[in-house]
Amino acid sequence: MDYYLKSTTKKALLADLREAGFEWYDYDESGAVTGTRDPQRLEVVSVRGHGTCVYLGHIVETPAVFDEEGNVVTPAVMTKTYHANVRMRKPHDFKKDMGKPNKPQYKWA
């Protein structure tokens, strides 16, 4: 089951993801977990047998415009909202599920 999450705050979105079992960790040189952290844009985390999440952060609302040489004429406009896409093995009740958008910016392969 695919879920498309959207929130006005990063904190609320991450709380919804963490409640579903997704977490991002820091590691030391030996590979031991040293703590949890917030994800980076496009960072993927999986929970074996449970699901996979890609944290998107802000997404493109209006694409950039380029000239013939590839120079940016108008920069892209990003949303003020935070996004993540999740694929779960079993149904889950995400508080921030917005339903499938018309043009998802990240599609599962």
Give how many domains the chain has, as a whole number.
1
In a domain, 97, yes or no: no
Place of tokens 């709380």: 15
Q: Is 44 a domain residue?
A: yes
Range of the domain at 51: 2-88
- Separation of alpha carbons 63 and 16, rounded Å: 28
Per-residue pLDDT of 7-40, as tens digits, reads 999 999 999 999 999 999 999 999 999 999 999 9
Is 26 part of any domain? yes
Q: Is residue 14 part of a domain?
A: yes
DSSP-derived 3-state class of residue 94: coil
CA distance 2 to 22: 15
pTM: 0.83
Residue 75 lies in a domain: yes
Residue 52 pairs in a beta bridge with: 46, 87
pLDDT digits (tens, 9 = 90+) for 34-84: 999 999 999 999 998 899 999 999 999 999 999 999 999 999 999 999 999
Mean pLDDT over 91-102 rounds to: 89
With a cut of 80, say whether residue 103 has pLDDT above it. no
Task: Report if residue 95 sits inside a domain.
Answer: no
What is the three-class DSSP state of 24? strand
